[in-house]
Structure 1
Amino acid sequence: MAPKVIYATVAVLGIAAASGAAWWYQAKTPASTSVNFAVEGAPPGTGATGPTGAAKGATSSATAVRPPSVESAKVEVMSLTDDTQAVGSLKSRQGVTVRPEVSGRITQLNFRDGDRVRKGQLLVQFDDQLQVAQVKQSQAELSIALANHKRNQDLVAQNFISQRSVEESAANLEVARAKLALSQATAARLKIMAPFDGITGIRTVNVGDYLKDGGDIVNIEDITAVFVDFRLPERFQTKVKKGQQAQVDMDALPGRKFTAIIQAIDPLVDANGRSVGVRACIDNRQNQLRPGMFARVKAVFGERENAKVIPEEAIVPQGGKQYVIKLVDGGDKDIKKTQRVEVKVGIRRPGRVEILEGLSEGDEVVTAGQQRIQKDGTLVKVLELGRPAAQPPVAVGSSGSGVAGGVAASGTSVNTAPKLNPVGTKIGLTPVAKPLTGINPCLEGKS
């Protein structure tokens, strides 16, 4: 019984000692800290004094009313182009693969690979000895029939023969004429003419070859103008019109841009891709383009000279509508008041969006910090973002390892004359295109 009482007494004394130590630790607080707490918690006019407490109370009050900071931009007016991007392929304005209608042996090839040919020029001649003989035979039969018919006409005028004999001779004359026309047409099919002006490709036959009807001989391409065929989504079918222009870039010709004129729009919308076919024409009198090349097309639907644009990050979508936070005068130079405005957007460009309704030129809108604005009329501070200083231009040939006037910094002469390739063309220099003269073939109405 005695040990239990001793243990209980020791426990009570330990708890009392711990409690006293805790009370003593908490009571040991600096005077300045107590004053600060009193100032922060006391209302104005209480007995809290001291320069440190007053300063901290003022800082706390300023922090509580400091307006949020935002970034802004003004509505700008610039020229915008309403366009869209597409890909397509080039095609000859006129192109055909020459094939014979009848079988025969080739006796003449009147062209060379890559030659420019004219419409009606004889390209291929087949063996036509038999057909020429048939033409001569038909001509002889026609002469006989013509003589008989003339003699019968004289005889019937003298009542020596009946009218029936004259009619029979007239029919024989028509048959002879038909035979001659047939033999001439058969002989003409052994001569293959150029159907239009163009450039021949690489032939696949030689003189002496026996070619069956329908066999390939050579292709002819009219590339004075080339077509670029591409497809646009169906939503653009009301925008694209004949006569509009399109800018075309070629991966095979980097850095060069070509202007195409839209000539035709397919009335049928592809049910698989929901797209409409478009054909545009490019003036190719300089022969820089070839059929089959890959093309990147920018179809231009129109241009707006005084379009109002703002940064794209200023748009705040909400409930299917587009809003911006407009800044109005807040009574101070750096302080502005917010106003939410619904806008109607138009053309979008990387980092920019056109505003059709809701804003005017010079209006200022918030571009960053919209999440800090809870309601209209909030006072905000506009941050002035400084621009990086422009880098000074690098002087060429002034000092160091630069080169000026063809002389290196060390005094060694440098040869700046352009090099020539084996055929005499300067390496690294882009040939200057000659100015075009005459009528643009895309405007001649040919198809």
Structure 2
Amino acid sequence: MTPRRTTYLLLFALTAIFVTYAVKWTGLTPVPASDLSGTPTTGTAVVLAPVTTDRIRHTIRAVGTLRANESILIRPEIAGRIRQVWFEEGQTVEKDQLLVDLDDSELQAELAQAAAQLKVSRLTYERLKQLDLDGKRYVTKQQLDEVAGALHVSQANHALYATRLAKTKIRAPFSGITGIRRVSPGDFVGAGLDIVNLEDLAQLKIDFKVPETLLRHLAPGQPIELTTDAYPGEIFHGAVYVIDPQVEMTTRSVQVRARIPNSQQRLRPGMFAQVLLTYGQEERALLIPEEAVMPKQEKTYVYVAREGTAQQREITLGTRTKGFVQVLNGLTEQDTIIRVGHHKLQEGDPIVALTEPSR
């Protein structure tokens, strides 16, 4: 017996064993190929599935990290010793509420000195100005200009010390929740040293990226569903409010930002989240089981059962949903596809269809 003949006999025996066990253990019933073509024949055992229609939502899935609506590290603009801390850690504070007092005794003295100098400069200028108006020429123009310049310097110094004094009162720039305090009363802090973080958690933001090929489907106001590992199975809702006008060259994606209401403050900045963005729906989309799809060299194919044979068909896929995938072109509702057994088929191979028992 030649090696080639031995190989053929072995393949035939394996096929027969597969069909026998498929029928015995899965309850599948063989349908003779004559039911498909009218001519009795033998072939590869397969399971068929119809092309169905159903309503689907067109969605985009992405991931992102939650961030506060507003977030800031409270820092002093000037150096000084902390005289009083007016907040508790984790406290809700209102906009412009006093948070920290720096010792202002030295600045108070400097401001008083600047105020006194300003008063003298103003009186001197007004007196010389009056003499000039009398027309007696007791004052030269140069003298008047010098006194006017001194008055401007005094005014600037007074404004400078008044501004520095105001900066000893550190206030909340927006309403929010204070974090963990980094300083204590009596500490000397330099300008820019962290005191506490302030977070606005009334609503959160999330940034996520979408491929540029889907840019045409994006618009402000689109709803999103958000899930987190912290609350398994729970869905939070939000909406897109801005789409970055520039596409990132390295990733070929566009950044999208959405807001999520968070009145109960269950969500926290820094949480990892999954995002589902819905951009439309289709009432009668063509659907096939995902397992029937065969990717090959950047194209996608299925096998269609026709007249007792397998015919390869190139298709274009759309949205995926719960084990099914949308077919944009390449199939019709009248087609029957091969769901199981297609990986060992070639174009034109005869098939034996197995039907699944009704449930």
Q: Matches of 1:83 and 1:286 in 2, distance apart?
A: 28
> Is the CA contact (8 Å cut-off) linking 2:57 and 2:280 kept in structure 1?
yes
Q: Which has the larger radius of gyration?
A: 1
> Does 1:65 find its partner at 2:36?
no
SS at match of 1:287: coil
Q: Residue in 1 aligned with 2:332?
A: 360
> Does 1:257 find its partner at 2:229?
no
State the 1:253 CA deviation: 1.4
In the TM superposition, what are the counterparts of 1:132-281 in structure 2 within 5 Å?
A: 132-160=108-136, 161-162=138-139, 164=141, 165-232=143-210, 236=214, 239-262=217-240, 263-265=242-244, 267=246, 269=248, 271=250, 276-281=254-259
Q: Matches of 2:82 and 2:333 in 1, distance apart?
A: 76
Of structures 1 and 2, the one with the larger relative CO (CA 8 A, separation 6+) is 2
The two structures have a TM-score, normalised by structure 1, of 0.61
Opposite residue 81 of structure 1, the aligned amino acid is R
Which structure has more strand as a fraction of its residues? 2
State the 1:296 CA deviation: 1.9
User: What percentage of residue pairs aligned between the two structures are identical?
Assistant: 35
Q: Residue in 1 aligned with 2:55?
A: 79
> Is the CA contact (8 Å cut-off) linking 2:312 and 2:347 kept in structure 1?
no
Deviations 1:201-221 (A, max 9, x none): 121222222223332211101
Q: Matches of 1:257 and 1:284 in 2, distance apart?
A: 12
> Is the CA contact (8 Å cut-off) linking 1:314 and 1:325 kept in structure 2?
no
Task: Give 2:315's match in structure 1, choosing from 322, 340, 343.
Answer: 343
Deviations 1:7-64 (A, max 9, x none): xxxxxxxxxxxxxxxxxxxxxxxxxxxxxxxxxxxxxxxxxxxxxxxxxxxxxxxxx9
> Is the CA contact (8 Å cut-off) linking 2:56 and 2:321 kept in structure 1?
no
> Is the CA contact (8 Å cut-off) linking 1:270 and 1:276 kept in structure 2?
no
SS at match of 1:111: coil
SS at match of 1:168: helix
Aligned length: 315
Unaligned runs of 5+ in 2: 1-38
State the 1:292 CA deviation: 1.1
SS at match of 2:156: helix
Unaligned runs of 5+ in 1: 1-63, 331-335, 389-447
SS at match of 2:235: strand
Q: Matches of 1:318 and 1:103 in 2, distance apart?
A: 67
State the 1:238 CA deviation: 5.5
> Is the CA contact (8 Å cut-off) linking 2:309 and 2:348 kept in structure 1?
no
SS at match of 1:65: coil
Q: Matches of 1:317 and 1:219 in 2, distance apart?
A: 51
State the 1:235 CA deviation: 5.1
> Is the CA contact (8 Å cut-off) linking 2:212 and 2:247 kept in structure 1?
no
Q: Residue in 1 aligned with 2:17?
A: none
Deviations 1:214-266 (A, max 9, x none): 32211101112212233445655565554433321111112221223332337
Q: 1:143 to 1:318 in 2, by over 3 A?
A: closer
SS at match of 1:289: coil
Deviations 1:53-81 (A, max 9, x none): xxxxxxxxxxx935667543322222223
Deviations 1:81-126 (A, max 9, x none): 3334333211112111111222211111111111222222221111
Q: Residue in 2 aligned with 1:401?
A: none
